[in-house]
Structure 1
Amino acid sequence: MKKIIKNIYHVGDSGCSVFLVDTQSEYGLVLIDAGMSLDFIRQIDSYNMRFKDIKHCILTHCHIDHIDACAALKGALPKIRFYAHELDSVPIEEPGHDERTAASWYGVKYKPVKLDRKFYSDMTLTLGGYDFQIIHTPGHTPGSISVLVESEGKKVLFGQDLHGPFNDGFLSDLEDYQASMQKLLDLKADILCEGHYGIFEPADKVREYIETYKRQNQH
Structure 2
Amino acid sequence: MKQIIKNIYHVGDNECSVYMVDTQSDQGLVLIDAGMNLDMIKHISSLGLRFEDIQHCILTHCHIDHIGGCAELNRALPNIKFYAHELDAAPIEEPGHDGKTAASWYGVKYEPVKLYRRLESDTTLTLGNCVFQCIHTPGHTPGSISVLVESEGKKVLFGQDLHGPFNDGFLSNLQDYQLSMQKLLDLSADILCEGHFGIFQPADEVKKYIETHKFQNQP
TM > 0.5 between the two?
yes
Distance in 2, matches of 1:60 and 1:209, equals: 19
Letter in 2 for 1:54: I
Letter in 1 for 2:143: G
Matched, 1:81 2:95: no
- Please identify, of 138-147 and 36-45, the stretch whose mean Cα deviation from structure 2 is larger: 36-45
Q: How does 1:1-219 map to 2 (within 5 A)?
A: 1-219=1-219
Distance in 1, matches of 2:164 and 2:38, equals: 25
Residue by residue, what CA displacement relative to the aligned partner does 1:13-52 show, whole Å, maximum 9, x if unpaired?
1010000000110000000000011111011122211000
Q: Percent identity?
A: 77
Q: How many residues are matched?
A: 219
CA positional deviation for 1:82: 0.1
**TM-score normalised by L of structure 2:** 0.99
Runs of 4+ in 1 over 4 A off after TM superposition: none
Name stretches of at least 5 consecutive residues in structure 1 with no aligned partner.
none
CA RMSD of aligned residues (A): 0.5
Name stretches of at least 5 consecutive residues in structure 2 with no aligned partner.
none
Residue by residue, what CA displacement relative to the aligned partner does 1:65-88 show, whole Å, maximum 9, x if unpaired?
000000000000000000000000
Distance in 1, matches of 2:144 and 2:52, equals: 27
**TM-score normalised by L of structure 1:** 0.99
Distance in 2, matches of 1:113 and 1:64, equals: 12
SS in 2 for 1:57: strand
Letter in 1 for 2:147: V
Equivalent pair of 2:2/2:47 in contact (CA under 8 Å): no
Letter in 1 for 2:98: D
Distance in 2, matches of 1:195 and 1:156, equals: 14
Distance in 1, matches of 2:141 and 2:38, equals: 25
Residue by residue, what CA displacement relative to the aligned partner does 1:72-116 show, whole Å, maximum 9, x if unpaired?
000000000000000000000000100000000000000000000
SS in 2 for 1:43: helix
Distance in 2, matches of 1:25 and 1:19, equals: 18
